[in-house]
A and B are shown apart, each in its own frame.
Chain A
Amino acid sequence: MSKGSKHKDKKFGMVIDLDKCTGCGACMVACMSENNVPFKENESNKLDSITWMRVYKLENGKSFPDADICFLPRPCMHCEGDHGHAPCVSVCPAIATDYDHKTGIVSQIYTRCFGCRYCMAACPYHARYFNWWDPVWPEGMEKLLNPNVSPRMRGVVEKCSFCHHRYQLALDKAYADGRDKIEEDEYQTACTQACPANAIIFGDLDNKKHAVYSLKKNPNTFRLLERLGTNPKVYYHSSREWVRRAGDNYLKHETTKA
């Protein structure tokens, strides 16, 4: 592509500051509300509870009073793998999930997915969720449904989309205004927007003007399970060494990646 091309590919990603994340769960609710995620009367079985954004509670394994905990929000990592060869994308037999090289977003087509769950087996982050049940909204609550996201039927896999529909809406708006580019703040995910601690920063990882560009270069920044070669687009920041170490697997003698 020639220099100064208008339609440079984007690579959307996140930098989540774990020093700031308080584990309040606002991102989870914002995400569920934005994306028409269903809810059941009993959601205490976390292996059957759809949470595109899930906040994990990490413990340092030490005993009182040296114990420490850290919260870690886990959206879909939108792995780039090797040239878009994300763990889940290449295994999907029906191209129901795909890596979009224009945005770096791993998409999921619910009407295409036939529920083989191979992608779930492939994802080491447990970011993919299966609709074990028909989604049911109690009477009146179907009014809450966001028309920009289609509710999923039983028997298909779903996951975080980086609120891709918001990107579409932003592009549509820009187009209507006669612009061909959107600004950083025009496309933000629901969780980013909702985080009361501003712990989640979202933007184009390749765009020098976007906050994530420089944030991701901080030496205290790491990604989850980097050593597997998943090449995720969600970065984490923590000033605590044990948290950074918890981000990946290390042999006992190995030092945590700086």
Chain B
Amino acid sequence: MKIDRRSFLSLGAGATAGLAFSPLPWKLMDDSSIWTQNWPWVPVPTDGEASYVDTVCSLCPGGCGITIRKIDDRVVKAEKKDSDNANSGICILGLSSPQLLYSPSRIKTPLKKIEGKWVKISVKEAVAEIAEKLKDLRKDKLSHTLACISGSSSGTVPALFERFLKAYGSPNFITVPSVKDVYKLVFSLSLGSPYVPVFDIANSDFVVSFGTGLLDGWGNPAQAFKAHSILKDNKKKLIQIEARLSNTAAKADKWIPIKPGTEGVLALGMANIIIEKRLYLNKNILFDSVTEGFEEFKALVAKDYSVKAVAEITGVKQEDITALVEDFMKAQSPVALFGRGEGTIPGSLHEMMAVNFLNALAGNFNKAGGVHLLSDNSYINWTEPILDDTAYYGINKKRLDGAGDGKYFLAKHLLNRLPEVLNSSETSPINMLFVTDSNPFYTMADTKLVREAFEKIPFIVSFSSYMDETASMADIILPNHFFLERYQDVVATCGLKPAVGLSKPVVNPIFDTIHSGDAVIFIAKALGGTIAESFAWDDYKACLDETLEAKKDIMDKELFWVDESGVFNAFADAESSGKFEFINDKIRQTKPYTFVEAEGEKKQYPLTLIRFDSMRIASGYTANSPFMTKTVADTVIKENDIFVEINPKTAAEYNLTDGSKALLTTPKGKAQVRVHLYEGIMQGIISMPSGLGHSGYDNYLAGKGININELIGQIEDPASGFDAAWGIRAVLVRV
């Protein structure tokens, strides 16, 4: 048969028709759809047995009891522990812990920096190398040039580090300070012992907060939120005194805007009115028998803090001040909160003392709805470390930060003084630095100065779990397990009582990491001699078991062991012996009352930049998870630009419109920002969130925004020596 063009075409047409009527196209259509429903690049979660493991979250000082949902051996979710007792609760950060566990920015093995590049090493090698270096220092009688920065001051792990420094021969154990350090000072000055206050917000009927970020991450956020909800249920009042309409201010029944930094003045003014009007007498407390220095205090506030003067300084109207005082003193169980924002910056001692006087005048200590006082946990009862001559020589050297001495007689640790000390000497007075549970190169004010200072230190050992800003500057990293992978005691409060919680490993360590407690013990053992003798435990677990003793059984069952004896009982009844001292010699020594001002010339820097804390942005050692960053509004971060909030009227003065780019300059640095017009901020003030502008971590966080610490410098509180900076003068120029 001759195949011509025509038959060829017919054949083609026939074949096409035949195919169309065959099941083939339909089958293909169906199969392609099924393929789209099972695209190989869309992961399918592996199924397995679901289980729940309870543990204590240690991502913030709150120490909540949480529960972890597991599928076989993987963590899929963190949840609130279903329990009314204990310290159960969860916040956005705790909910992020699974993402933080599997984060790409985790450090997967011990690392050593060789010529600027990270090289994997084993734990053994790392420990041996650190021990070798430490031995050399000891040989040269330089044991005191070892320093350690610890993110926390409570619990066995920081205690092990502190013990290590002592046994090794260095006084330079330094913790990262927070508002808690100032709280302790407030009460050690007024009550003679460093009590930690717990505010019984849930049972109060009138809460006045002097800039405290009750709903912005202060204290234990989960408990604060719960307490606030109870306030709302009971229709009780919350008053927020703050320059910016923060989330706390927004939830408050009344927001009283105030010039930032003058909160202490307002408190003293209020105290003056209370005393003048003798309102404290209505409180049915045996005032004379439980206070001291009242007359002197009375004279002092009467002289300098008349309502007129206070109104002028603070910008709060006179009638608002008097009304506030009346409502406060009329309430059954009023309470005044102090400590700014979420409390990462310690803050002004006098400001907090001033506010606390209101509590004293309302007589609310140890009363329902008032201030309850807890003593520091004392469950760690180790024998003193054994000191050899070198150690003895070393620990008697002066602390580098000057804490506990001269004008810094009140403070125990002053991390904020370290950069200055380092920068003022030619060669570094620190030869080796341990950094554990903290990220000081990011969290400390005036980051540039901090960096310059720390770059002088010849050898830095980081114990961080993440490639954060500090870890990336280290020489050796011994990465800690993430809290879901390790045992650790966590100091917390259960209700109004001190407690210790137990973090338990929920999964086996997923990387080649080492518990920092183990790391210290191993380093000590490698050093031998009295140092090794001081660390007789086999490992951290043994140390922890021995420390907790019988408490551990309770913690295993209930997660928390509550220290019933840790509650200060003064004022609870007429027979109590405690006295609240308004003025005493020690207080006089701090030269009351001085409040710090923002750094910078008003002429050159007409605006004031303040920081604000947000639940959605973690600003401490733990940084944001991808989910948390996803929740951040587009008026805070857009692409990589950070926004500063500004009052529309102020913006108009500077020719700025919503979203426009501007150059923000402070005495400490410059940054390109965008502006967000916000009616909730005072004129002349601009604000910026803390916790952004990371250079470390992963692509989900790094490079987004500016680290406010690069723009703000620290200001030493003249009373305590702690950083009390609440802002800095600034100028914005449209670009």
Contacts and interface: CB of A to CB of B under 8 A. Distances in A.
Interface in B19-45: 36-37, 39, 41-45
B631 A36 contact: no
B630 A147 contact: no
B219 to A, nearest CB: 12
Contacts of B682: 64-65
A176 interface: no
A55, A69, A137, A197 — most chain B CB neighbours (10 Å): A197
A111 B248 CA distance: 43
Contact of B45 (A36, A59, A139): A36
B176 to A, nearest CB: 24
Contacts of B39: 134, 153-154
Interface stretch (A19-27, A117-125, A203-211): A19-27
B615 A25 contact: yes
A254 interface: no
B229 A25 contact: no
B92 A144 contact: no
A68 B92 CA distance: 24
A62 B679 contact: yes
Contacts of A143: 74-76, 102
Contact of A194 (B45, B80, B680): B80
Contact of A25 (B92, B248, B639, B700): B92
A19, A22, A41, A70 — most chain B CB neighbours (10 Å): A22
B655 interface: no
A147 B47 contact: yes
B30 to A, nearest CB: 13
A59 B229 contact: no
Contacts of A62: 679
Contact of B95 (A33, A41, A140): A33
B679 A59 contact: yes
B573 to A, nearest CB: 35
B681 interface: yes
Interface string B488-529: 000000000000000000000010000000000000000000
B76 A146 contact: yes
A24 B221 CA distance: 10
Contact of B102 (A29, A63, A144): A144
A191 B92 CA distance: 11
A30 B78 CA distance: 8
Nearest to B256: A65
B328 interface: no
B215 interface: yes
B723 interface: no
Contacts of B71: 146-147
B627 A29 contact: yes
A144 B48 contact: no
Contacts of A19: 232, 251
A177 interface: no
Contacts of B42: 134-135, 151-153
B41 A138 contact: no
- Dominant SS among interface residues on chain A: loop
B257 A65 contact: yes
A30 B541 CA distance: 32
A19 B649 CA distance: 29
Interface string A170-204: 00000000000000000000100110111100000
Contact of B90 (A39, A57, A196): A196
A82 B46 CA distance: 40
A190 B700 CA distance: 24
Given A144-B102, A194-B80, A22 B247 contact: yes
A158 interface: no
A144 B89 contact: no
A25 B93 CA distance: 10
A42 interface: yes
A2 interface: no
A165 to B, nearest CB: 12
A45 B634 contact: yes
Contacts of B99: 33, 141, 144
A22 B104 contact: no
Given A39-B627, A144-B76, A146-B77, A26 B91 contact: yes
Contacts of A218: none
Interface of B: 36-37, 39, 41-48, 71, 74-80, 89-92, 95-96, 98-99, 102-104, 215, 221-222, 225-226, 228-229, 232, 245, 247-248, 250-251, 255, 257, 510, 615-616, 625-635, 637-639, 647-649, 678-683, 698-700
17 contacts: A20-B232, A32-B627, A33-B99, A33-B627, A43-B629, A44-B637, A55-B631, A57-B633, A64-B681, A71-B247, A134-B41, A140-B104, A151-B43, A190-B77, A193-B79, A197-B229, A198-B226
Given A29-B95, A46-B634, A147-B46, 9 more contacts: A22-B248, A29-B627, A39-B626, A65-B255, A141-B102, A151-B42, A151-B44, A194-B79, A196-B222
Interface of A: 17, 19-20, 22-26, 28-30, 32-34, 36, 39, 41-46, 49, 51, 55, 57, 59, 62-65, 67-71, 111, 134-135, 137-147, 149-155, 190, 193-194, 196-199
Closest 8 CB pairs of A and B: A145-B45, A67-B679, A24-B615, A25-B631, A196-B225, A22-B215, A197-B225, A43-B630
